[in-house]
Amino acid sequence: MAVKRRVRAGDVITGALQTFKAQFFRALAHPTRIKILEILVRGSRTVQELQDALHLAQPLVSQQLAVLRNHTILTTQKEGLSVRYALRDPLVGDLLDVARRIFNNQLIGSQGLLRELQRETRRGSPSGTRGLVRPRRDAG
């Protein structure tokens, strides 16, 4: 016999809130949209200005702007024949900064692991790391 689980009011609210959060982060989850937001942190731009900065065709830029606009991350303001896009909430810039710091911390940790793996390789550890590709060091 199937056991019926009681759903409390808090469960429904939490589920809706988690869905809202997931949709927000899903709207950010595209390299072009992230770059658009990084540009808009510095101020509003038209589609043409974004297109020039991103080196992408107008339909691609407009498609990504539509996703951000539909998730109320951006606002629009008509100026003559063009439309200016801006961040609805300047805290999006803070979110991008925090994400950048998190990524930096993760990469620092990864570099430490890579150095440890390279030291193991040099010591001839039998851990199957022969042929390890070392990262290139770019001059600059």
In Å, how far from its chain's centre is CA 132?
Answer: 30
Q: How far apart are CA 35 and CA 51, in angstroms?
A: 11
pLDDT above 70 (res 139): no
- For residues 84 and 95, state if they share a domain: no
- Shared-domain flag, residues 21 and 84: yes
Q: Are residues 84 and 118 in the same domain?
A: no
Q: Indicate if 79 and 50 belong to the same structural domain.
A: yes
In this structure, the answer to whether residues 74 and 112 fall within a common structural domain is: no
In a domain, 140, yes or no: no
- Number of structural domains the chain divides into: 2
More confident residue, 104 or 55: 55
Q: Which tokens is 89 given?
A: 């909430």
Q: Rounded mean pLDDT of 34-55?
A: 97
Q: What's the average model confidence in pLDDT over 11-36? A: 89
Structural domain includes residue 139? no
Highest mean pLDDT pick, 41-55, 106-120, 125-139: 41-55
Model pTM greater than 0.85?
Answer: no
Max avg pLDDT among 18-22, 84-88, 106-110: 84-88
Domain that holds residue 79: 12-88
What percent of the chain stands above pLDDT 90?
61
43 HSE (CA, 13 A, CB side): 1
Looking at the fold, whether 99 and 117 belong to one and the same domain comes out as: yes
Residues 39 and 75 in one domain: yes
d(CA 44, CA 14): 34
Q: What is the mean pLDDT of the chain?
A: 85
Query: Could you tell me which residues are beta bridge partners of residue 82?
Result: 79
Q: Are residues 41 and 18 in the same domain?
A: yes
Measured distance CA(41)–CA(19) in Å, rounded: 26
Mark whether 82 and 103 lie in a shared domain.
Answer: no
Strand partners, 46: 84
* Residue 2 located in a structural domain: no
Per-residue model confidence (pLDDT) at position 47: 95
Q: What CATH number is attached to the domain comprising 36? A: 1.10.10.10
Collapse the DSSP code of 77 into the 3-class scheme (helix H, G, I; strand E, B; otherwise coil) and give the result.
strand
